Amino acid sequence: MRILFEMFASFFKIGAFTIGGGYAMVPLIEKEVVDRKKWIKEDEFVDMLALAQSAPGPIAVNTAVFVGYKIDGVIGSVFTTLGAVLPSFLIILFIASFFIGIKDSQVVARIFKGIRPAVVALIAAPVIRLSKSAKINKKTFMIPVIAAILVAFLNITPVYIIIASALGGILYGKFFRRTSK
C-alpha cells in the first residue's frame, strides 16, 4: 500500500508543478520513474511513451496509466492517473473561479508570454534524451525525421506512423537481417 501512495505523491508533484501540458510532463515523469525511483528501465519507458502517444487521450495521462500498470497493475494505474490529473483539476477549478477578474490582465498575458519558451525547451529535452536511447543510426536516422514531418506538417495521426514503423521493423527483420548473417 505504501508504494501506491508513493506513486500517487510522485505523479501529484509532477502534475502540480508542470506548466505546459502533457508533453512538458514527460521529462519530469521520466526523471522520477526512471532516474530517481528506478521503478522502470529507460527502454521500458521509451516503449511506454510510444504506446502513450499512440493511444487516444493526453500523453501525460496515458503515460501515467502505463507506468502505474507496470509498477502495480490496475490499482497502480488508478493511483498514478489520479496523481497526475488531480492537481490540474484543482488548479483549473481555482483559476476558473477567478478568471473573470483576470482574463484581460496585462500581467497574466506577460506571465504566459514568458512561460511559452520554457515549455518549448521542456518538450525538446525528452526528445533529445529519448533519441539517444532509441539506438538511431545511419540506417534509421530518417525514420524519426519523416515521422516528425508527417505529424507536424501533414497532420498524419501518430497511430498510423507507429503501425507503419512496426510493420517496417518486422519486414526489415524478416528480409534484411537474415541476409546479413
pLDDT tens string 2-31: 999 999 999 999 999 887 778 889 899 999
Same domain membership, residue 127 and residue 45:
yes
Same domain membership, residue 30 and residue 80:
yes
Which range marks the domain in which residue 172 is found?
136-181
Amino acid (one-letter) located at 52: A
Same domain membership, residue 49 and residue 122:
yes
Q: Which of 48, 34, 46, 52 is nearest to 130 (CA)?
A: 46
Same domain membership, residue 140 and residue 127:
no
Q: Which of 58, 62, 32 is nearest to 47 (CA)?
A: 62
Same domain membership, residue 88 and residue 69:
yes
Grid coordinates given for 53:
502517444
Q: How do residues 62-83 score in pLDDT, each as one tens digit?
A: 999 999 999 999 999 999 999 9
DSSP 3-state assignment of 1? coil
Same domain membership, residue 161 and residue 122:
no
Same domain membership, residue 78 and residue 148:
no
Q: What is the mean pLDDT of the chain?
A: 87
Q: What is the rounded distance in angstroms from the CA atom of residue 49 to the CA atom of residue 156?
A: 18
Is the dihedral angle over the CA atoms 94, 98, 99, 104 positive or is it negative?
A: negative
Q: What is the rounded distance in angstroms from the CA atom of residue 153 to the CA atom of residue 149?
A: 6
Residue 116, phi then psi, degrees to nearest 5: -55, -50
Confidence tier at 41 by pLDDT (50, 70, 90):
very high
Instruction: Provide the pLDDT for residue 168.
Output: 86
Of 118, 134, 150, the one marking the end of a domain is 134
DSSP 8-state code for residue 20: S
Same domain membership, residue 98 and residue 20:
yes
Same domain membership, residue 63 and residue 9:
yes
pTM over 0.85: no
The total domain count for the chain is: 2
- CA geometry: angle 45, 120, 160, nearest 5 deg: 50
Same domain membership, residue 128 and residue 179:
no
DSSP 8-state code for residue 161: H
Describe the chain by its helix, strand, coil percentages, rounded to 5: 80, 0, 20
Same domain membership, residue 146 and residue 130:
no
Same domain membership, residue 175 and residue 109:
no
Residue 26 in contact with residue 126, Cβ under 8 Å? yes
Q: Is the pLDDT of residue 93 over 70?
A: yes
